[in-house]
Amino acid sequence: MPSVSVMTARMSPAATPSVPSVAPLLVPGLGAGVVATLCQERRSPVLRVLQFNIHAAISGGGGVQVSQIAAEIEAVQPDLVSLNEVDSHTLRTRVDEPAYLAKATGLHVVYGPNLIYDGGPFGNAILTRYPVVESHNLRLPGTFGLEPRGLLTAVVIVDGRRVAFSSTHLTEGSGGRQSRLLQALAVARALHSMAAPTILAADLNSDSTDVPRRILRGHLLDAQEEGGTGLGDTFPEANPSSRFDYIFYDDHFAVVPGSTRVQTSNSSDHRSVFTMLTLLPKHRC
């Protein structure tokens, strides 16, 4: 396979530039029936989205199974993928996981490392079938001494429109409760300022009844709640009892009914979440 270029997003608070609106074209004498027919014939793109905490591709047995992670990603043929706990040349895995997964899946990659761990970068990554026109990694607040976290965003072009796709992984454990609250507030503020249709995929390290999800549901919809099957629990993989992994979206999208589901994994301690989102027309019919 040809070599893959990994785009590493720099830590930046920069907001997505605004997109100018275009007024709809009104044609005199065009009947309502004709307009309805045109609306029906206009095909809105459907985005296949995956959220997956890959646990650095380290299986329960301790082996590094990045090829299995790639196979599990490819199995759902995604257009947009959020990955958490992604290593790059650490001593424990000795693999440039963002580059490997991009090459194995044939997708573009953006990497957002948040710290150096075991000799190499560690953080979130985004895989995308669509061209990336902008990316940034926002440092999230948190309690001093805990692992730093970030909000990785890639702006891609879908059917000629800019779409903002973000990936994050909030602080874990009972000692991280205050950090998760601060991080969820920061994520909500950042995404609320986006000028483009927005999707967030995340490991919130908290259940659906906890405060972080309630904060994000302030202006985002939950794909599991709106179009899910089953309970949506993702952790621990072998017998999930907690819903830690989510896909959220704003009102520029509609979830395909019944498309949101949890996928088993043979190579991570989390199950992944898959959904299908329809990008709605700019000017609703």
Tokens, residue 276:
């299908």
> Is residue 18 scored above 50 in pLDDT?
no
- Residue type, position 148, single letter: P
pLDDT at 205: 98
Q: Quickly state the pLDDT bin for 13 (edges 50, 70, 90).
A: low
Q: Quickly state the pLDDT bin for 30 (edges 50, 70, 90).
A: very low
Closest CA to 271 of 15, 99, 87, 50: 50
* Residue 58 included in any domain: yes
Q: Quickly state the pLDDT bin for 41 (edges 50, 70, 90).
A: low
* Residue 7 included in any domain: no
Of 9-13, 84-88, 185-189, 233-237, the one with minimum mean pLDDT is: 9-13
pLDDT at 22: 35
SS3 67: helix
| Structural domain for 239, as ranges | 44-256
* Residue 27 included in any domain: no
> Is residue 1 scored above 80 in pLDDT?
no
Closest CA to 64 of 97, 39, 40: 97
> Is residue 9 scored above 70 in pLDDT?
yes
Of 23-37, 78-92, 140-154, 167-181, the one with minimum mean pLDDT is: 23-37
Q: DSSP code of 58?
A: B
173: left (phi over 0), alpha (psi -120 to 50) or beta: left
* Residue 18 included in any domain: no
Q: What is the mean pLDDT of residues 248-276?
A: 97
* Residue 267 included in any domain: no
- Alpha helices (H) in the chain, listed in sequence order: 32-41, 66-74, 97-105, 177-192, 211-216, 223-227
Burial class (CB in 10 A: 0-12, 13-18, 19+), 177: middle
Neighbours of 10 (CB within 10 A): 9
C-alpha span between 245 and 208 (Å, rounded): 9
Average pLDDT, the chain: 90
C-alpha span between 124 and 100 (Å, rounded): 14
Q: What is the mean pLDDT of residues 161-186?
A: 97
* Residue 33 included in any domain: no
* Residue 176 included in any domain: yes
> Is residue 25 scored above 90 in pLDDT?
no
CA angle 177, 146, 233 (to 5 degrees): 45
Residue 172: which CATH number? 3.60.10.10
Residue ranges with strand state E in 94-238: 108-117, 120-128, 132-139, 150-158, 161-169, 198-203, 221-222
Tokens, residue 177:
């409760």
Query: What are 102-160's pLDDT values in tens digits?
Result: 999 999 999 999 999 999 999 999 999 999 999 999 999 999 999 999 999 999 999 99
C-alpha span between 235 and 242 (Å, rounded): 5
* Residue 64 included in any domain: yes
Number of independent structural domains in the chain:
1
